[in-house]
Amino acid sequence: MTSKPLISLLQAYGDDELILGHRHSEWTGFAPHIEEDVAFSSIAQDEIGHATNYFMLLAELTDDDADRLALGRDSSEYRNAVICERANGDWAYTLARHWLYDTADDIRLEALERSASKDLAQLATKMRREERYHLIHADMWMKRVTHGPVEGRSRLETGLSSAFSEALGLFEPIELEGEAVDEGWLPTPSVEMKSAFVERASNTLDELGLPTEVRADLDESAEFVASSSGDLIASPDGGDAKPARPSGLGGRSGEHSEDFIHLWGEMTRTYREHPGATW
Amino acid sequence: MRTLAATIELAVWEALATVPDPEIPAVSVVDMGMIKHVEVDGHEVRVTVLPTFTGCPAIGIIKQDVGAAVAAVRDVESVSVETTFDPPWTTDRITDEGRVKLKEFGLAPPTGEGPVLIGNIGLPMRAECPFCGSTDTRNENLFGPTPCRALYYCASCRQPFEQFKEV
């Protein structure tokens, strides 16, 4: 049976891993410290490996090819959250995003371990064991930088203030989210995972004594729900019906930033110039 | 007297014991606990392999090498090699013999302790130096040259070394 909601889920999460993995790989040779050069290269390899596995499941369902799914799609066909495609900026922004993403990914994988898709549940269990290293790495650096020299802490705060609100885009509902939840592919709705994420991340920020301004964006950002037309609208309980399209949303319906267009061009160039090439 | 299927199965396991891990040639796929099972039906053999790390690019080569080794076994007419994450491969599956071989190769075997963060910067994964046996070692990096390796330094013999990561 070909399930469209399951396809939508695999596409969105596989794209997150692929695109963020590509961004991490851009640190190879450029990280501020040789051990971090090794670490980010290895984390990139893990994330791209996870994307490969999502795409292998997807390829089976759609009678497609994992390489084509990764590299042979038009730029409008990617469903990753916008935060994954943002340019690396400085290392502090990269660290903030790495910590936020891997915290979010842990919550997501914990849910997927209970997916009605046995293959996906088994893959999630496997990936989560590897992801422990990413979480520890990110936590360790959050602590080091927070308790280190003022410049590092100040840059981290700047990085967090732009990354935190955009990280909520990771929990923007996927296409056909309602069906994905009803059919058990996605055992926990995105909105619930988002609450768990905000609570967990906020607790860590409190423990680190990072200022509340870091989270100001978060409190202001409107709740979002998918309307029947698939458009994102402000949640009715959000009070004023502000047209809600805070920065960082839209990725799940294929709306991307300029940053993505550049990344896509570079990432898919070899594949586009030499279709069907293997390496 | 052994049945043909049992004879083939035994020979297949012997053949698999000669298939090296492409990135750590000192150990075989059997030492690594990567073979979930071997099923023999007449002259057809099905081997199920458990991938180690999901991002490990060696899995394609491993499938190919496993297929070729089994195809060369007497009385085997066809081979299929499949992979599964059920159960997930974990470092507990590495055999005792595999652990000895890893150490001889210069890689500290996994300790059975998962990674944990204590305090601000602690990375208290224990590793025994594969060269001098000292446990006065420190983790330099949770990551290394392949997804399955972490970097360490031995304060006793002053050598850098790598550990096969607990997973």
The model's confidence at residue B119, banded by pLDDT at 50, 70 and 90, is: low
- Tens of pLDDT, residue by residue over B7-65, are 999 999 999 999 999 999 999 999 999 999 999 999 999 999 999 999 888 899 999 99
pLDDT of residue B126: 78
Is B167 within 8 Å of A130 when comparing Cβ atoms? Answer: yes
- Report the C-alpha gap between B6 and A69 in whole angstroms: 42
- B55 to chain A: closest CA residue: A49
Contact status of B60 with chain A (Cβ, < 8 Å): no
Helix orientation angle between A91-112 and A118-146, rounded to the nearest 10 degrees: 150
Of A49, A137, A140, the CB nearest to B54: A49
Phi/psi-derived region of residue B44, left when phi > 0, alpha when psi is between -120 and 50, beta in every other case: beta
CA dihedral A251, A256, A259, A265 (to 10 degrees): 110
pLDDT of residue A88: 96
- Report the C-alpha gap between A167 and B58 in whole angstroms: 33
pLDDT of residue B78: 97
- Report the C-alpha gap between B97 and B105 in whole angstroms: 12
pLDDT > 70: percent of chain B: 92
Of B88, B143, B146, the CB nearest to A126: B88
Q: Set out the domains of chain A in order of their start, with CATH numbers.
A: 4-273 (1.20.1260.10)
Cβ-contact A142, A210 below 8 angstroms: no
- Report the C-alpha gap between B15 and B67 in whole angstroms: 10
Is A46 within 8 Å of B53 when comparing Cβ atoms? Answer: yes
DSSP assignment of A2-43 equals --HHHHHHHHHHHHHHHHHHHHHHTTTTTSSSHHHHHHHHHH
* Pairwise pLDDT comparison (A231 vs B6), residue with the higher score: B6
Of B85, B114, B121, the CB nearest to A143: B121
Name B95's Cβ contacts closer than 8 Å, sequence gap at least 6: B30, B31, B32, B33
Mean pLDDT by 10 residues, chain A (279 residues): 90 98 96 94 97 97 95 96 97 97 97 98 96 92 93 95 93 97 98 95 92 55 41 40 62 96 96 82
Number of Cβ within 10 Å of residue A118's Cβ equals: 10
Min Cα–Cα distance to chain A from B2, Å = 36
- Tens of pLDDT, residue by residue over B84-99, are 999 999 999 999 999 9
Structure tokens at A19: 């695109």
pLDDT of residue A218: 52
**CATH topology (fold) of B4-92:** GMP Synthetase; Chain A, domain 3 (3.30.300)
Is B55 within 8 Å of A45 when comparing Cβ atoms? Answer: yes
- B88 to chain A: closest CA residue: A126
For A47, the 3-state DSSP assignment is helix
- B87 to chain A: closest CA residue: A122
- Report the C-alpha gap between A120 and A6 in whole angstroms: 10
Interface test with A, best of B48, B113, B143 (most A CBs within 10 A): B143
Structure tokens at B98: 């595999």
Q: Considering the entire predicted model, what is its pTM?
A: 0.90
Is A38 within 8 Å of B141 when comparing Cβ atoms? Answer: yes
Is A39 within 8 Å of B114 when comparing Cβ atoms? Answer: no
Residue ranges of domains in chain B: 4-92, 106-164
- Report the C-alpha gap between A161 and A212 in whole angstroms: 10
Alpha helices in chain B (DSSP H): 4-16, 59-71, 96-105
Cβ-contact A88, A28 below 8 angstroms: no
> Residues B23, B163, B110, CA angle at the centre, nearest 5°?
100
- Report the C-alpha gap between B60 and A278 in whole angstroms: 13
Length of chain B measured in residues = 167
Find chain B residues with C-beta within 8 A of A124's C-beta.
none
pLDDT of residue A278: 73
